Amino acid sequence: MMLYLASQSPRRQAILNDLGVRFDLLLPDQTEDAEALEIQLPNESAQAYVARVTLNKIEAARVRLKKRQLTFSPILCADTTVALTQSHRQEILGKPTSHEDAVAMLTKLSNRSHQVYTAVALIRSMDDQPEIIVSTTQVFFSELSAQTIQAYVKTGEPMGKAGAYGIQGAGSCLIERIEGSYSGVMGLPIFETCQLLKKASIPYILSV
């Protein structure tokens, strides 16, 4: 049994491959406005935001599957966001839009802790309600010099990543420690994903 992964993230694809999961990609075409699904609502918390975006994405994937007249298999979808809490106010840090935006984000994260929320959702049938789990990880950045930030941004790694860093690459040099799920910060929390796979009877490397 296989599933559809509604995500372009190579990190999520690599994690599923490591788990021995058979999957095909179910990606949006040029007629879909994928970015519109990620617009933040006023006063929305980061946890509510990432759950809503993930559910929006999996519903879009369900419609996509039907429109393309593909044979149904369970659909898996995930989304990750970074949040910085200061003075009881939570600021969501999405994907940087420019070199300068990435520098500004990393400057904010320097010598602070922040939260990474990753929601993973799965539908088991065409009429099924999605089951969703949100993973929360606390990430502690070391104090970053302006030169370090510039050097990291010049690698190009921050672009396309929430919070302007990737834990699985050179960005790991910036991180003092984490409390929570390393794979969740990568973009697909393995423990939570395996829970959903087991409920859907989708084989993975440790399924029995």
Residues known to be catalytic? 79
- The residues, any chain, with a CB within 8 Å of residue 163's CB and separated by 6 or more, are 82, 93, 105, 109, 114, 116
Query: What's the chain's length in residues?
Result: 208
CA atoms within 13 A on the CB side of 147: 0
159-185: string of b/e by CB count within 10 Å (b at 16+)? bebbbbbbbeeebeebbeebebbebbb
Residue recorded with tokens 């087991």? 198
User: Is the separation of the CB atoms in 178 and 136 below 8 Å?
Assistant: no
d(CA 111, CA 140): 7
CA atoms within 13 A on the CB side of 154: 6
